[in-house]
Structure 1
């Protein structure tokens, strides 16, 4: 390896590569974060190894691991780059000139309450911003954030607390509760617990193995409901209930307006805590100004929804 005295002023441009590689511990994810090609990042790593006369990252359990020298460099490197970025930071973010394509994971429920207003706002204030929406299950959505496949996930993610998701950040949009939707002619007033368990149920879930908070709560009580129909499409679920003995348990905001025309909305017949509806993203996007602006737009829309 070459001596560290071989450092050239042009090599200062490699320092963000080193920061990304130490934090991401993965060449492909570092490339995504830097918006550079994987070969370019690999080439930068090779040059950095020459400069510092150290491997910096070595193969280990779970992928690349930083060497002792890399860990020693991490803090002063972060401070130096933060200072440089503060010196060149733009004083404001111009939404009208922003060319970005954001990829979001939203459930049918999240799309229904957020997208109409969000798209309307974007068309007026950020007409060059494009959106692609996917609907992933909880595990899949968080994995896609980590891999850089999507930019933002909005929904209910209790597994965010797990250690393997330590690189994800989240913000509460509002607290939600559950309610039941059933055919009006099948009963009046509140649904009893015994009747709830005796009836067949509709469950909306993208992933076959995604048990909901409802199923988890029933399991803690020692009960299990029968799922007669499971489907990924929320829009079709209410019509399955109409004229049948089926019960749909869902977020209250998504069904309370349907309690008419042959359907009724009933309170859940057992105790279940409210649940947080959040937006979550990878820390690599934390200081990305357009990404932060999009999060703020979503938070404002959800805040108005949460006050209903």
Structure 2
């Protein structure tokens, strides 16, 4: 208790913002404070913890090992204090909060329009910051407290990560109609003989399609790797390329593109699209509410998928 008397608890809120944002200006915006005030608080915190906490690295700033050790316990402590003050109650209409999410443009296209409208209608004080990351990066960011929620496919999760299925998906292939036989299908050998497009954040990323082929002792040639789901269909017209993607990627595929979708000529299991968070968020009533809204915004997708 004596140690607590030496520090203003408001400084802990500033510390949390600084460690989460790794940037004085962004922390100031998050706290609705001036940059000089946050810089002054950082100096106080450095003196209190006898550590720089944030150090210059290239064009940005990085956490010191001591700051890394502080981040997760600090988040847990602040959530517990918030729970004591509010007795677990959460009023979305009055809440002021920022949620940090990671997702692909596939998830952004499907979920964000409905989610943003819901927040503007029901919780105008809640902001979102959305970034794009691979599933491995999302899991690391969740563990490190850099994001609050990840949307993606998580067949293997790290310790402390909780997942919830938003909807079920399956794969389809798509190609320029003029490059396909009259019936719009290809046998496996002809499918494998064609060049393919892979949507991935990194060219060496493991994916369900090539894993299923490898299980049969087969492989395909990847002629193009790109990280954008929507752009992946736009490159197909006038080429012999084949794209195999989650079916919902093609929901708004314009007819004038002259593309045809078809079932891949080999067994390719479906998959669950999920939201993931760290177990330390379980007691956070605001986070629980936000997850329920994301789930609710995914229900129309579930209904279409079942048709």
* Shared fold (TM-score, shorter chain, > 0.5): yes
Residues 41-66 of structure 1 show CA distances to partners (whole Å, capped at 9, x for unaligned) of: 969xxxxxxxxxxxxxxxxxxx98xx
Equivalent position to 1:97, from 94, 99, 109: 94
User: How many angstroms does 1:176 deviate by?
Assistant: 0.6
Residue 161 (structure 2) aligns with? 168
Residue 275 (structure 2) aligns with? 279
- The secondary structure found in structure 2 opposite 1:101 is strand
Equivalent position to 2:203, from 174, 188, 208: 208
Q: Do the aligned partners of residues 40 and 145 (structure 1) sit closer, same or farther apart at CA in structure 2, a change above 3 Å counting? A: farther
Partners of 1:287 and 1:40 in 2: how far apart? 32
Please list every run of 5 or more consecutive structure 1 residues that lacks an aligned counterpart in the other structure.
1-6, 14-27, 44-62, 65-77
Contact 2:187 2:265 in 1 (8 A): yes
Partners of 2:3 and 2:229 in 1: how far apart? 57
Partners of 1:226 and 1:144 in 2: how far apart? 32
Residue 247 (structure 2) aligns with? 252
Equivalent position to 1:194, from 185, 189, 198: 189
Q: Do the aligned partners of residues 259 and 225 (structure 1) sit closer, same or farther apart at CA in structure 2, a change above 3 Å counting? A: farther
Partners of 1:301 and 1:240 in 2: how far apart? 30
Residue 178 (structure 2) aligns with? 185
Contact 1:170 1:280 in 2 (8 A): yes
TM-score, length-scaled by structure 2: 0.71
Residues 217-271 of structure 1 show CA distances to partners (whole Å, capped at 9, x for unaligned) of: 1111111111101011222111111111100100011115427331111012111
Partners of 2:134 and 2:2 in 1: how far apart? 48
- The secondary structure found in structure 2 opposite 1:206 is coil
Residue 227 (structure 2) aligns with? 232
Residue 23 (structure 1) aligns with? none
Contact 1:259 1:265 in 2 (8 A): no
1:131 correspondence with 2:124? no
Residue 158 (structure 1) aligns with? 155
Contact 2:166 2:272 in 1 (8 A): yes
Residue 56 (structure 1) aligns with? none
Residue 111 (structure 2) aligns with? 114
Residue 262 (structure 2) aligns with? 266
Residue 143 (structure 2) aligns with? 146
Contact 2:89 2:285 in 1 (8 A): no
TM-score, length-scaled by structure 1: 0.71
Residue 34 (structure 2) aligns with? none
